[in-house]
Amino acid sequence: PTSAAAIMSLWSHVEQAPPDPILGVGVAYNNDPAEKKVNLGIGAYRDDTGKPWVLGCVKHAEQKILKDTEDGKLNKEYLPVQGLQAFLDVTSAVILGKDSPLIKEKKVAIVQSLSGTGALRIAAEFLSIYKPGVPVYVSDPTWGNHHQIFKKAGLQTHSYRYLTKDMKLDIDGMLADLKAAPEGSVFIFHTVAHNPTGVDPTPDQWKTIADLCEAKKAIPVFDTAYQGYASGDLDKDAFSVRYFAHERGFELFVTQSYSKNFGLYGERIGALNVVCKDPAVATKVTSQLGLIIRAMVSNPPLHGARIVSTVISDPELYKQWDTELKLMANRIISMRQDLVDALKEIDCPTPAPIYKDWSHITSQIGMFAYTGLQAKHVDILMNKWHIYCTKNGRFSMAGLNAHNVNYVAEAMKDALVTAGPADV
């Protein structure tokens, strides 16, 4: 007879992991049989018919890549651990500027990564090796994965205040919390289009934040998920990074993701840039980043890097990319206004009495709107109206379009009238 020990798994003690709060929204939406439903959870662009969009510049780049492959000019061999050289040659200029003296002087260590998440994970591992035990400070709220990424590298994360109750930047609370951090701490900043709030510091506020970082000898890490997608202007969206790197001379980390601004969500293409004061140091940092990548994923994937480098290197395709970026950004901006107009048209109450109106939605920027709705309102949106978003009331504005914006506004009014104002 088979003994109990023989049939018991070594992993019986493993507990079921909780569902991801963001990805779980998409699962619930897909499982809902309702004919009329809206997905405001996924952080991916949709056109005005609610469909995913493959950028025209990407299609043209893939046609060129296919032709070069058929002609024997390209193959599918492994990449070096640092990534595709053609990609490494162009990506830093997107975030730091094509005339960046840091690039010209070879003071930037640059490696390809599995989008922005992978870049953060490489940075976290590097910090855990060369600044063991360094405390890491992230905004409250922030992208949910920030804490997990740095904790997986053995680092402790802490939060700094970021948002007031009426959806404005809590600059005083932010500065006070960062000032209280130990000297030499790591400060995680969102380069542009803060996730989940869409609330960014002004240029003058960034300068004040830089003053504090300098006084605290902090290590800034800029997480860049929405460059160009936020305002439609790649240069404008890079202000914070370029100010810290060029005007203030910080050594810093800056991630890049080409998921949103190229629509390459599934290609997992991004980069990690480490700005150093000395080119010899940058060379050594690059070599150590390569060792980290080798142990993690051996080497990065090829196709997404080819797409991005092809577009950026071709003047006509780059111009097309710039045009399509503006189209995406402007659609999101217009949907913010359309939602606010729809809410005003039906006299929808604000989330709580501290809000004078719904203008916080139009003052925010980027993929998401932090509406001020809470879990009790979201439950009504999901269960009665089949509108799906995260429990904190974060809407992916790309999920709105001319065909559903009035429906969403009606549902928001019903949720607020039924459940009452938010608890603030």
Q: Strand runs (DSSP E) across 30-89, as ranges?
A: 38-39
What is the distance in angstroms between the CA of the first residue and the CA of the last residue of the chain? 63
Q: Which of 255, 242, 241 is nearest to 115 (CA)?
A: 255
Choosing from 170, 223, 237, 338, the catalytic residue is 223
User: Which helix (H) or strand (E) element contains residue 112?
Assistant: strand 108-113
CA atoms within 13 A on the CB side of 214: 13
* Cα 285 versus chain centre, distance: 24
Is 198 in contact with 395 (CB distance < 8 Å)? no
Distance CA 278, CA 413 (A): 57
Is 184 in contact with 217 (CB distance < 8 Å)? yes
Tokens for 281? 């140091």
Choosing from 107, 170, 260, 385, the catalytic residue is 260
Q: What is the DSSP letter of 201?
A: -
Q: Strand, coil or helix: what is 294?
A: helix
| Catalytic-residue membership of 260 | yes
Distance CA 109, CA 196 (A): 29
Is 395 in contact with 389 (CB distance < 8 Å)? yes
Is 44 in contact with 52 (CB distance < 8 Å)? yes
Question: Would you report the helix, strand and coil content of the chain in percent, each value rounded to 5?
Answer: 50, 10, 40
- Check whether the bond before 18 is cis (ω within 30° of 0): no
User: Which residues are marked as active site?
Assistant: 143, 223, 260
